[in-house]
Amino acid sequence: MDLLWEAIRDAAGLIARADAELLRIAMLSLAVSASATGLAAALGIPLGIALHIGHFRGRATASLAINAGMGLPPVVVGLVVMLLLWRTGPLGALRLLYTPSAMVAAQVLVALPLVAGITRTAISLLDVDLRLAMRADGASETRIGRELAAAALPQVLVAAAAGFGRAISEVGASLMVGGNIVGQTRIMTTAIALEASRGEFALALALGFVLLALAFGVNALLGLAGQSRAELA
Read off the pLDDT of residues 133-164 as tens digits, 9 standing for 90 and up: 777 777 777 888 888 888 888 889 999 999 99
Range of 15's domain? 2-232
- Predicted TM-score of the model (pTM): 0.90
Percent of the chain with pLDDT over 90: 68
- Tens of pLDDT along 63-77? 999 999 998 999 999
Predicted local distance difference test score (pLDDT) of residue 207? 96
Does residue 181 have a pLDDT over 80? yes
* CATH classification of the domain holding 89: 1.10.3720.10
Percent of the chain with pLDDT over 70: 95
pLDDT band of 59, cuts 50, 70, 90: confident
Predicted local distance difference test score (pLDDT) of residue 83? 97
Dihedral (Cα; 73, 76, 81, 84), 10-degree rounding: -160
Overall domain count for the chain? 1
Mean pLDDT computed over 218-226: 75
Instruction: Tell me whether residue 179 is exposed, middle or buried, using C-beta atoms within 10 angstroms of its C-beta: 0 to 12, 13 to 18, 19 or more.
Output: middle
Which residue, 48, 12, 30, 209, is CA-closest to 123?
Answer: 48
